[in-house]
Structure 1
């Protein structure tokens, strides 16, 4: 775990939420089970196998030493979470976690909850996707599928989106999404629909068509979405939901599925949509294999065909 300790010794005092050490990327042999994130003013250490008390003591000493250099007048706050075989153990190791706990990213504010479950309210690896949406959103009508706590919607509205329709099965996530919008002074422009998209698309279709659709589902969540069987069903709907020239942002965080999985599925389900680009992941999430890392692909619907000279003269 020396690479993790070295990263702690060299880190700066964070202002935005972000990843500090990404062992899962495979660039630090022997540290594949470790991740360290900053959710100021709290550090979150995650291990994907149980850590020993001795290992946790080493991390604590490293964090305490560095924090004493960076912020000698501030307390050290850090949380440890172990994730293994679907089980999660979370412990407050030092200090405290604010309640409410609000973090920032590129000027946006988000509620997070580090002591509850595996999903903390903001997926840090999707920062580049949010930046892209913010840059594309001016004047656009946006559909945000699997919206979770609405971070893409906040980014879109901050980028000048005209309207965002947020859809997620979880009413609790939608409620947090509404709080996130209020935190950012976004009192208009967003709607929130707690809804299972596979039961009916009627409400979603009636609010369209859309200039931009964000699709950021879980890769495997029983009763919600399983990428290997559900992505194709979803993709078949996209052409009817997009305006001519509209874009869709497809996201997939499944190490076992490559970007070609998305490309092949799209070619089968909606061949008229044209692949534009794959967005780069944040540098902090560098991976030894692009195909194991987060996949974020952009597709575009065809533009309306220009009328022929003959038709224009009629």
Structure 2
């Protein structure tokens, strides 16, 4: 636990953006592999992936309270959520101190998102995907500047709360189709669009389909072809998507859905499947698509083995002759 305490003590300032403070899961801090600490202003979220004692929690709570008091004396109350995650769906979440705003709105690079840190394992914004969101915004901005026909047409698969859609529209995308099985997640996604004032302005630009992707190919195809396809699925969601067997079903569809010269952003976040899982299957199932790069993960998510970390690969379709 000492490395986590050291990170709290060394914190130079209270962050303004939602971010990860400590990433023990990356394996760089022996003995702290089960700990993570995130900040969703004004709430700290402390997570353990194994049971810990009340004494340990008390020590960490006191350290955070002291550091916050030193850095932000005008904010005396410590808002702290603790979550214990174990194998399967065995998750405990409780408020250790303070309170959580409702609604709870956080920011990242000037964009606002609604989060819900006191329930479930997914808080509404995946912090490790910050570089992916930045890339999508920049890609759409460059596309809009370079194309007289207007902004990019984007397909956002497994859209969740539609963060990719918001930044795509901020970058100048002309149309985004968001697809996710969860109508509740898409409802929050619509609120995220409104929070960033791309709701009314983007009327007709953003659409939301609460459907199973594998039964919706007709609608997806009719909306295409697309300049950018974002594929960010869960690694394992029983009854919905299992990456080890279902990702291939997506890969073989990509060439027909992309514009000539279009791009596909493929994401995979599980330590059980390495980079070769994506690259080898893409070579077999979509050989015309060329691997451009792997996007670097945020420094806060550094891992002792990059093959275990989040993998975000950019592919490009061949341009017209």
TM-score, normalising length: structure 1: 0.96
After superposition, residues 4-23 of structure 1 pair within 5 angstroms as: 4-11=4-11, 12-23=13-24
Aligned to 1:198, the other structure's residue is in SS state helix
Q: Which residue of 2 aligns with 1:116?
A: 119
Q: Which residue of 2 aligns with 1:59?
A: 60
Q: Which residue of 2 aligns with 1:85?
A: 87
Q: Which residue of 1 aligns with 2:224?
A: 208
Once the two structures are TM-superposed, the CA of residue 198 in structure 1 deviates from its matched residue by 0.8
Are 2:184 and 1:172 aligned?
yes
Q: Which residue of 2 aligns with 1:186?
A: 198
Q: Which residue of 2 aligns with 1:3?
A: 3
Once the two structures are TM-superposed, the CA of residue 204 in structure 1 deviates from its matched residue by 0.7
CA distance in 1, matches of 2:270, 2:40: 24
CA distance in 2, matches of 1:47, 1:102: 24
Q: Which residue of 2 aligns with 1:28?
A: 29
Are 2:231 and 1:230 aligned?
no
After superposition, the CA RMSD in angstroms is: 0.6
CA distance in 2, matches of 1:179, 1:268: 39
| Residue ranges of structure 1 left out of the alignment (5+ in a row) | 306-314
CA distance in 2, matches of 1:98, 1:180: 16
CA distance in 1, matches of 2:31, 2:210: 42
TM-score, normalising length: structure 2: 0.94
| Residue ranges of structure 2 left out of the alignment (5+ in a row) | 145-150
CA distance in 2, matches of 1:60, 1:289: 30
Q: Which residue of 1 aligns with 2:38?
A: 37
Once the two structures are TM-superposed, the CA of residue 72 in structure 1 deviates from its matched residue by 1.3
CA distance in 1, matches of 2:206, 2:294: 27
Are 2:283 and 1:267 aligned?
yes
Aligned to 1:161, the other structure's residue is in SS state coil
Aligned to 1:179, the other structure's residue is in SS state helix
Number of matched residues?
305
Q: Cα deviation per residue 1:19-71 (whole Å; 9 max; x = unaligned)? A: 00000000100000000000000000000001100100110110011011011
CA distance in 2, matches of 1:287, 1:191: 36
CA distance in 2, matches of 1:254, 1:67: 33
Once the two structures are TM-superposed, the CA of residue 219 in structure 1 deviates from its matched residue by 0.5
Once the two structures are TM-superposed, the CA of residue 200 in structure 1 deviates from its matched residue by 3.0
Once the two structures are TM-superposed, the CA of residue 73 in structure 1 deviates from its matched residue by 2.2
CA distance in 1, matches of 2:5, 2:213: 44
